[in-house]
Structures are given as structure tokens and as C-alpha cells.
Amino acid sequence: MAGSWALNLFDRLHVGHHVLVDILSEMPEPVAGVTDGEIIGNKLELYQLIQPVSMRVENLKHYLESVRLDDIIEVEVISSFDQLLQIPGDTCFMMYAGPCCLDIEENALSLRSKRLGVSDRVEYMKPMRANDGDKLASARIRKGEIDRNGHVLRGTEEPPRLLGEVIRADLQTPKGEVFETKDGKPEERVVAKIEADSPECVIAVGDVTCATLVSQGYTPDVQVVDGITKRGKFVGSFSAEKEYTIFNPAATIYPEAWSVIDTAINDGATSLVVVEGEEDLMGFPAVLLARDGSVMLYGQPDVGIVWVPVNQENQKLARGFLDEMPIIRG
């Protein structure tokens, strides 16, 4: 064989991808082909929620660097069947069986044999299994059924939503008490209130908010961060007993966000939710999913920390806001 290509979406890079990369690394001239465009079409579940190809490539390259395979495995984007026809020589194509495989075989691999006279080999990988015994697949992660390690989540019936043209200022959002910076360090007063009130669950949204609370010796039950602040990239790190990663672009709320936040609230541990994208709207699911008597904290840049109690009034306001967000179809 002249070379070896693993063809995959590499969406929500998960442990199944890690195994695929491991096997690929032992093959001759290994290339990880990140599929996109006409290769994936629109047959996949929640295909509109697939990560942008640039993010999938970046995450894959970062992983290869972390396991010291970046000098062994090349990464290429394959977005057309014609690109597969350009690969020279007999090639081994490795794939997990799925909706795209038949199209790849019919539209490219069979033509490679007829036009180029090559003798390719197709190896269908045995699918990884999640903890519930079902297939570990990116589609299940997009739906919020499992996380990237194959652990079963609480799940959700919430559809993906996009803020779109809704004007936030015209909507009633959950109301809370503002601890302002002009009155001193807001995190000190917030931690004192937490100690006095003993909320059922404390969910902190935002890197600066989480970091300032931790600096006071208090770790929220759930921290939601995205590595971004008003002034740019957040410099620092967070830790918790359990960690989850979700993909949630700006002005959206995806099913996996609902499911992971619900799981984090109820997993009986301090949890960290790392958002690839933006966490700006994550407070809304938090308010709707947390038990009465909980609190959601978020930061207002140059103002302070907002204390939003979880109660029926705020849950009604949060639901009203979400119901104004159009559902992402497809």
C-alpha cells in the first residue's frame, strides 16, 4: 500500500477518534482525512450543528501534538469526491461505518479502481461503545446523549436554538442582585452571601467570575467557562472533580449544552464545563435546570457579579427568553 487514510468527521473529538488515530499511527504513510462538504452531505443527524472544519482540524492537530504523533500523521481536509480521486497509488481507507461510507465507496473508491487502476483496501473499524453499550458517535454527542468519553448524560428534549434577530433589550431576562466593583471586591461579598444562605447549588458562568470566586477559596458546584473575557483570551486554568467539554457557538444553545449542564448540576461533584465557542447564554439553561433555592452567578464587565436566584419567577422569565429564540431546523 502506498498510503493509509483515516476518513472521519472528527466532530467533537472523542475517545473513538483517539483509538482511530492510534491505529492509523501504525500504518504506512498515515493521513487523517477530515471530511467536509459534499463528502458528508446533509444526511447526518443534526448536521447543522457539526463543528466548523477549521475547529475540527485545530482540535485534531492539538490532540496529535499532545500524544506526540504530529510528526507522524498528516492532517488533510477532504471536502469533495474528486480529492479522493487525486490520492496516488494503492491506498488503505479506514472508516467507522456510517451514512457517509456508502457514498464514499460509490462516488470515489469505485471510480479510483476504474479510472486509476488502483487496488485500494477499505477497512471498516469496529465501533467504540459508550458506557450504555450503544455506539459512541459524534451524532450522539450532538444530541446530548453522551459526552466525549462515552459517559451517559441526563439527556434533553430541548431543540437547538439561535438568538438570530431577537433584540435582547426587549426581552425580560432573569433578575438578580448586582454586587458592584465600585463597592469593593464583589467576589468577597458573594462568597459571604453563599456561606450565609447555603444555596442548593451554585452555578458560576464566565471565566472571570469563576476565577475570582476560586481566588476567595470557594469552588462553585458548577463552573462554566470558555477561555474568553471582554479583554481577550483568559489566562489561567480551572479544576474540578469532573470535567465536560461542549461545543456551543455564540448566540446559540445546543442540546449538548442542556444535557451537560443538567448532568453537571446533578453529578454530586464539583464540575467544570468547558465551552468551545461562547458561554454567554449558558445561564439560561442553568436557571431552568437547577433546583429551587439554587443560584446562578455571572459577571457584568466593569460592573460586578450578578446573583440570580433560581425561583419560579426567574425560571418563567428564562423560558420566555428561550421561547423567543428560533429553533435551528435540519
152: Cα within 13 Å, side-chain hemisphere: 7
> Do 204 and 127 reside in the same domain of the chain?
no
Does residue 192 form part of some domain? yes
The cell numbers describing 297, all together, are 452567578
Whether pTM > 0.85 for this model: the answer is: yes
272: three-class secondary structure by DSSP: strand
Per-residue pLDDT at 101:
74
Per-residue pLDDT at 234:
81
> Do 166 and 109 reside in the same domain of the chain?
no
> Do 165 and 305 reside in the same domain of the chain?
yes
Lowest mean pLDDT among 1-10, 185-194, 297-306: 1-10
Residue 307 pLDDT greater than 70, yes or no = yes
**Confidence tier at 164 by pLDDT (50, 70, 90):** confident
> Do 124 and 168 reside in the same domain of the chain?
no
Element of type H or E holding 111? helix 110-111
Lowest mean pLDDT among 88-102, 113-127, 277-291: 88-102
> Do 291 and 183 reside in the same domain of the chain?
yes
> Do 137 and 172 reside in the same domain of the chain?
no
Does residue 227 form part of some domain? yes
Question: Which of 76, 109, 142 is a domain's end point?
Answer: 142
Per-residue pLDDT at 186:
94
Cell 462568597, residue located: 191
What is the DSSP-derived secondary structure letter of residue 173?
A: -
* Rounded mean pLDDT, 297-326: 94
Residue 237 pLDDT greater than 90, yes or no = no
The β-bridge relationship of strands 91-96 and 121-125 is parallel
Residues with Cβ within 8 Å of 55's Cβ and at least 6 positions away in sequence, in order, are: 247, 276
Per-residue pLDDT at 236:
82
Domain of 35: which CATH number? Answer: 3.40.50.620
The β-bridge relationship of strands 177-180 and 271-277 is unpaired
pLDDT over 90, % of the chain: 79
More confident residue, 85 or 190: 190
Per-residue pLDDT at 231:
67
Does residue 189 form part of some domain? yes
* Rounded mean pLDDT, 281-288: 96
> Do 218 and 307 reside in the same domain of the chain?
yes
Specify the number of domains making up the chain. 2
Distance CA 47, CA 261 (A): 22
> Do 294 and 173 reside in the same domain of the chain?
yes
Q: Mean pLDDT across the chain, nearest whole number?
A: 92
User: pLDDT tens, 105-115?
Assistant: 777 888 888 88
User: pLDDT tens, 198-220?
Assistant: 999 999 999 999 999 999 999 99
Residue 108 sits in which domain range?
3-142
Per-residue pLDDT at 226:
93
Per-residue pLDDT at 196:
97
> Do 239 and 299 reside in the same domain of the chain?
yes
Question: Which of 79, 107, 142 is a domain's end point?
Answer: 142
Residue 327 pLDDT greater than 90, yes or no = yes
Residue 39 pLDDT greater than 60, yes or no = yes
**Confidence tier at 304 by pLDDT (50, 70, 90):** very high
Does residue 298 form part of some domain? yes
Per-residue pLDDT at 3:
92
Per-residue pLDDT at 170:
57
The cell numbers describing 138, all together, are 459524534
Lowest mean pLDDT among 10-24, 35-49, 193-207, 263-277: 35-49
Per-residue pLDDT at 104:
83
* Rounded mean pLDDT, 157-172: 75
